[in-house]
Amino acid sequence: MYSLAHTPGLQQCHLQRVHSMSALSTPDSDYCLIYTSQPRIQPTKLTQNTDFSMARKQLKKHHLFSSERPSSTTPIIPSSEGASLPSANAPSVAGPSAKTPRKLFSGMGHLFHRSNQTRSEPLTTETTDTGIGSQVNDAQQAMVEMKPIPQVLQTTVGLVGQAGTAVTQIQSIETILQPLKLFNSFVTTLSNVHPYVQFALGILTAASQLLIDQANLDNEVFGLLNTIKDLYEFLMEKDTIENMDSMKETLRRISQEMSAAALFVIKYCKKKNILIRIGVSLVSDPQTVARGHIKNLSDLMQQYRDRAIRDIQINMSHVLEDLNLEGMAYAAGAGLNTTKKCLDGTRTEILKDITNWITTCDVNAPCILWLHGQPGRGKSAIAHTIASWIENVGAPGACFCFTRDRQAERREEKILTTIARDLADRDPAFRRALSNVVSNDLSLKTTCDVLQQWKRFILEPLSKINGEIVGNVVVVIDALDESGPETSRREILGLLKSSEAAHLPANFQILLTSRPLPDIERVMRDVPHVKATSLDDVPQELVERDIQLYVSKELDCFPSIGATEVQNVVKKSDGLFEWARLACEFIKPGKAGETSKECYDNLMALKSKEGRTLLDTTYFEILKGGIPESGIGLERYHSVMWQVMMTLEPLPMAALNSMRGKFPSEQDHYDIFLILEFMSPVLGGIMDRVSAVRPLHASFYDFLTDHSRSGIYFIDTSNTQRTRDLAFASLQILHDNLQFNICELESSYLANSEVSDLSKRIKQKIPHHLSYSCRFWVQHLWKTGFDLELAGLVRAIVGSEKILFWLEVLSLLGMVGKGVDALGTVATWLQGQDGSKDILALVKDGIKLIQNFGSVIVHSTPHLYVSALPFIPSNALLSIMLLPKFPSLARVSVRGLKGWPVEQQLLHGHTSGVESVAFSPDGRRIVSGSRDKTVRVWDVEGGVQIGSPLEGHTSGVESLAFSPDGKRIVSGSRDKTVRVWENEQLALIASHPSSMLHPSPPADGMYLHL
């Protein structure tokens, strides 16, 4: 009898060359396998001119079906000399080669019904790793006890009758999927593997489950599916299991390739005629993609066997889409920082716990993990380690970090838009779903409403792509406590506590880290869908073990620092990783004439003084070692550190020096490296002079701003004179550096997004200090009282063409919308000042210019001049001042606007007449009530609706009012009810029957009398 694919009693298989074979039909486009039993059919050498009729006649003499049960044996493919090799032109065949027989553990034999079949040698319990070995034995037992697999469908030989084709192998999809199911059960028995390996295994499990759950797997992708089957069998071999930790980099690549292959199969089976993008190339033939996956998976398996690491380009192919998400608010620099990762081999227990939580199959597991602890415990290191693992294995995820020195950016308003954009960059399916959301409502791109961002940018896209993502989506939010005051994170905490978070999709998880501040602890404690883990509770012996590994590595190059000294440093650290890091910096000689042993002795002599922790004492000693305790050196320290701490975002040393060069006092014009070179143990960006200068740990901020802790090194952040210095320097930089067409854009025919090298031009033409000044000059001005000299600098900017050059830079940086707020603040600063009437009028014209032409300026910077400036109303002071300076511009000769339009915003949304409106006390929101029975809240600046309509009234809403504190909205309706709504969360608080159509809240905003 003769049959193909897992026929029992196979003694021989032959490799025959076949032309015109599809890669979607067999694992190899140049070969097909013909399995035979005794008597053997001798292999026939085929050429392009071979007549296949003889082969067909020969096969017709034999039964096409085997009466025996199928075997799980994976055949070895010999040549006439006993070992076959594919031709040089053919991709390597997936699965074991003749030189590498399979070594699946013996327990798996009980899972198959076999006859006259043997396996390669069984596993023994003597492994290179006793932990792994015992787990393999456990896995064997688990496999033995599993219910036997039902007999799989018999396979057939199909003979293709068209010219130029050959015998094609048709194999049961169930047979293909069986190793995948076994693998998913097998993985649950492995526990003593590196957490990073566990991540990769989690992706492989998710990919296999995606294929298992696909109801319509197509035999057309048989070749790729067969390679996938071989891969999962390979992953369960003894030798593979034993070397997972040492080959974790190759395993990572396997998981990435398998993830991409699984998504390709799913998409192909759903929609056959698709265009595929691989890198920057388009591929219209899916066979090319399939062959690429087959080759890569096969190469990666061989690489694993060879214990080698070779460069293999992972096929991260996806369905062709050209989706533009530009314009969505994005917090640059808030993502993953791999320099913060844990030292390999440390924090293994907590990393393992987090990995178990991420990869669990328990649908009832908490969807949020809150990792908290005191400063210096290593929360951020753990967060960035997890985020880097997620990125490395190709899992969908995002990392968003708060930091104290970026509070001016108001990152809390951009957190969900940034996370959504990062997820879109990592996963094509999510990108497509997100694009559909924003393309239907472009105003969503700029909304600051966190609740709306949560629903529209996160929950809605996830609900649309169920089954199209491989693995769990993990979002890491680091250092929430550094977002700013409590109000900055109130909405975020409200979302994390909400019922929407409790019912997140089963594959969506959030890892949150913070100090246990009272407002965070109140929300996160005792919430059913939040798992709280404290680093303060980690056993001391585990913490000391990890600190010892770190200290040993850092001080390994100093012969005078031995095991005893390392152990003493570990004991003195008292479990604080930040102190251990400082101690290592302290011991490294920083002054001429000092040895590392002398530095160590000085460190050991430190004792916690009254009112100071050991960490504070160490900070003080580091500063004392480089900064004199009196004189000009101390004065310059105070000036430089104040500048470092009060800039609204960290700047590199060159930018700090450029700004200092514009300070009004000549005495401040010196190179700040004179001071900062001694502070590298506590500040980053000192030695390389390229990265931003910033404290290496948040605890150093706390130390410097508390006089009782820092003493003579205290930095007074309320010093108004130094605040004026930054305002003066920023305005002077704008005056001296702004210029027409600063990035030398050649044409107005291109949108900013279409200028291929725009980022490079911005980097070259708009240096850090100019970019900073354009974005933050107003904030520094506002913190300074009215000053005639500063007012003169403001006039020099706003009262000249430089206001257009400033808008140019904002356009290039994608921040035109911030111009309205900035000029509005300037108007307030100038209000009521003598001699400011004309400059105030120009400022107001600038606001009108942005409001009316902002979308044009955002789209293309040259259109600031081409499409905005010519259409400014002729009677506007800005037009009278600017148009003569640009004589070559087009002019509106007739019917041009004389004055600015009275109408400022047109708000669309209600489906019936609007009956009532009200402004919030701070002027930032408008509430409207309509005959359509809804109440809607609007953002004044953006002109967009905030959240969903407030529904509940059964008749038209006739009256509305805000409470004096702006926290509540009250509405009255013809349905004879009054309803009270929470303004921030847009939720109903109470409903009362009433005949009153026009309720008014009392002055205290606390009670409503009906």
Q: What is the pLDDT of residues 101-149, one digit of tens each?
A: 333 333 333 333 333 333 333 333 333 344 444 544 554 444 444 433 3
- Give exposure, 159-174, as e/b (b: 16+ Cβ within 10 Å): eeeeeebbbbbebbbe
User: How long, in residues, is the chain?
Assistant: 1010
* 68/34 same-domain check: yes
* 728/870 same-domain check: yes
Placement of tokens 């003769």 in the chain: 2
Answer yes or no: is pLDDT of 641 > 90: yes
Q: Which residues contact residue 277 at a Cβ distance below 8 angstroms, ignoring those fewer than 6 apart?
A: 283, 317, 318, 319, 320, 321
User: Residue 132's closest CA among 190, 182, 201, 198?
Assistant: 190
Q: How many domains does the chain have?
A: 6
> What is the mean predicted confidence (pLDDT) over 62-75?
35
What are the tokens at 350?
């907590």
Rounded distance between C-alpha atoms, residue 112 and residue 119, angstroms: 12
> What is the mean predicted confidence (pLDDT) over 206-232?
77
What are the tokens at 181?
């199911």
What are the tokens at 934?
């809804």
Q: Residue 820: helix, strand or coil by DSSP?
A: helix
The confidence score (pLDDT) of residue 742 equals 95
The confidence score (pLDDT) of residue 172 equals 65
382: confidence class by pLDDT, cuts 50, 70, 90: very high
177: confidence class by pLDDT, cuts 50, 70, 90: confident
Amino acid at 307: R
Q: How far from 74 is each of 102, 120, 185, 756, 949, CA to CA, in Å?
A: 8, 11, 21, 52, 62
Q: How many other CB atoms are there within 10 angstroms of residue 737's CB atom?
A: 19
Query: What is the distance of C-alpha 831 from the center of its chain?
Result: 43
Phi and psi for 644 in degrees, rounded to 5? -60, -40
Please return the burial class of 938, using the count of CB atoms within 10 Å of its CB with bins 0-12, 13-18 and 19+: buried
* 475/377 same-domain check: yes
Answer yes or no: is pLDDT of 151 > 80: no
Q: What percent of the chain has pLDDT over 70?
A: 74
* Assigned domain for 1000 exists: no
Instruction: Report pLDDT digits (tens) over 857-867.
Output: 988 999 999 88
* 139/49 same-domain check: yes
Q: How many other CB atoms are there within 10 angstroms of residue 708's CB atom?
A: 9
323: confidence class by pLDDT, cuts 50, 70, 90: low
Q: Residue 501: helix, strand or coil by DSSP?
A: helix
* 781/663 same-domain check: no
| Domain end point (choices 869, 885, 901) | 885
Please state, rounded to an integer, the average pLDDT across all residues of the chain: 76
Phi and psi for 957 in degrees, rounded to 5? -95, 120
CATH number at residue 919: 2.40.10.480
CB-based contact 738:806 (threshold 8 Å): yes
* Assigned domain for 444 exists: yes
Q: How far from 852 is each of 231, 806, 876, 905, CA to CA, in Å?
A: 60, 17, 13, 10
CB-based contact 175:69 (threshold 8 Å): no
Q: How far from 708 is each of 208, 537, 616, 630, 714, CA to CA, in Å?
A: 59, 29, 10, 18, 8
CB-based contact 641:626 (threshold 8 Å): no
Annotate 108-173 with DSSP letters as a single string: GGGGS--SS---SPPP-S--SSHHHHHHHHHHHHHHHHSPPPPPPPP-EEE---STT---EEE--H
* Assigned domain for 897 exists: no
How close are the terminal C-alpha atoms of the chain, in Å?
92
Answer yes or no: is pLDDT of 266 > 50: yes
Placement of tokens 């309720």 in the chain: 999
Q: How many other CB atoms are there within 10 angstroms of residue 72's CB atom?
A: 21
Rounded distance between C-alpha atoms, residue 229 and residue 965, angstroms: 64
* 413/289 same-domain check: no
Rounded distance between C-alpha atoms, residue 816 and residue 267, angstroms: 40
Q: How many other CB atoms are there within 10 angstroms of residue 337's CB atom?
A: 17
Half-sphere exposure of 518 (CA within 13 A, CB side): 3
* 661/587 same-domain check: no
443: confidence class by pLDDT, cuts 50, 70, 90: low
Give the H/E segment covering residue 498: none
> What is the mean predicted confidence (pLDDT) over 712-735?
90
Give the H/E segment covering residue 269: helix 248-270
> What is the mean predicted confidence (pLDDT) over 465-473?
78
> What is the mean predicted confidence (pLDDT) over 824-838?
88
Instruction: Report pLDDT digits (tens) over 995-1006.
Output: 544 555 444 444
> What is the mean predicted confidence (pLDDT) over 160-171?
36
CB-based contact 116:69 (threshold 8 Å): no
The confidence score (pLDDT) of residue 272 equals 54
Answer yes or no: is pLDDT of 43 > 50: no
CATH number at residue 525: 3.40.50.300
* Assigned domain for 1008 exists: no
* 568/631 same-domain check: no
* Assigned domain for 53 exists: yes
Answer yes or no: is pLDDT of 774 > 50: yes
| Domain end point (choices 554, 571, 605) | 605
The confidence score (pLDDT) of residue 971 equals 93
Q: How far from 246 is each of 128, 352, 433, 776, CA to CA, in Å?
A: 12, 17, 38, 50
Q: Residue 594: helix, strand or coil by DSSP?
A: coil
Beta bridge partners of 399: 476
Q: How many other CB atoms are there within 10 angstroms of residue 454's CB atom?
A: 24
* Assigned domain for 875 exists: yes
User: Residue 903's closest CA among 827, 852, 952, 842?
Assistant: 852
The confidence score (pLDDT) of residue 1002 equals 46
Q: How far from 465 is each of 392, 470, 985, CA to CA, in Å?
A: 23, 11, 27
* Assigned domain for 573 exists: yes
> What is the mean predicted confidence (pLDDT) over 76-83?
35
Placement of tokens 């401040």 in the chain: 668
* 96/204 same-domain check: yes
CB-based contact 531:368 (threshold 8 Å): yes
How open is the CA angle 384-389-390, to the nearest 5 degrees?
95
* 787/663 same-domain check: no
Query: What is the distance of C-alpha 183 from the center of its chain?
Result: 29
Lowest mean per-residue pLDDT among 350-364, 417-431, 469-483, 880-894: 880-894
Give, as one character, the DSSP assignment of residue 464. H
Annotate 684-732 with DSSP letters as a single string: ESSSSSSSBPEESSHHHHHHHT-HHHHGGG---TT-HHHHHHHHHHHHH
> Positive or negative, the Cα torsion across 759, 761, 764, 765?
negative
The confidence score (pLDDT) of residue 237 equals 84
* 294/367 same-domain check: no
442: confidence class by pLDDT, cuts 50, 70, 90: low
* 701/808 same-domain check: no
**Higher local confidence (pLDDT), 281 or 263:** 263
Q: Find out whether the peptide bond into 559 is cis, omega within 30 degrees of 0.
A: no
288: confidence class by pLDDT, cuts 50, 70, 90: confident
- Give exposure, 341-359, as e/b (b: 16+ Cβ within 10 Å): bbbeebbeebbbebbebbb
The confidence score (pLDDT) of residue 719 equals 80
> Positive or negative, the Cα torsion across 579, 580, 585, 591?
positive
The confidence score (pLDDT) of residue 624 equals 86
The confidence score (pLDDT) of residue 115 equals 34
| Domain end point (choices 263, 289, 319) | 319
**Higher local confidence (pLDDT), 455 or 76:** 455
Q: Which domain holds residue 711?
A: 626-718
**Higher local confidence (pLDDT), 891 or 233:** 233
Answer yes or no: is pLDDT of 1008 > 80: no
> Quick one: the chain helix, strand, coil %, rounded to 5?
45, 10, 45
> What is the mean predicted confidence (pLDDT) over 717-738?
91
> What is the mean predicted confidence (pLDDT) over 889-898?
73
The confidence score (pLDDT) of residue 904 equals 64
Q: How far from 278 is each of 283, 313, 373, 756, CA to CA, in Å?
A: 7, 11, 44, 20
Report, in angstroms and rounded to the nearest whole number, the Rg of the chain calculated over CA atoms.
Answer: 34
Q: Which residues contact residue 915 at a Cβ distance below 8 angstroms, ignoring those fewer than 6 apart?
A: 929, 930, 931, 956, 957, 958, 959
Instruction: Report pLDDT digits (tens) over 570-607.
Output: 888 888 888 888 888 888 876 666 788 888 888 888 77
* Assigned domain for 773 exists: yes
The confidence score (pLDDT) of residue 994 equals 60
pTM over 0.75: no
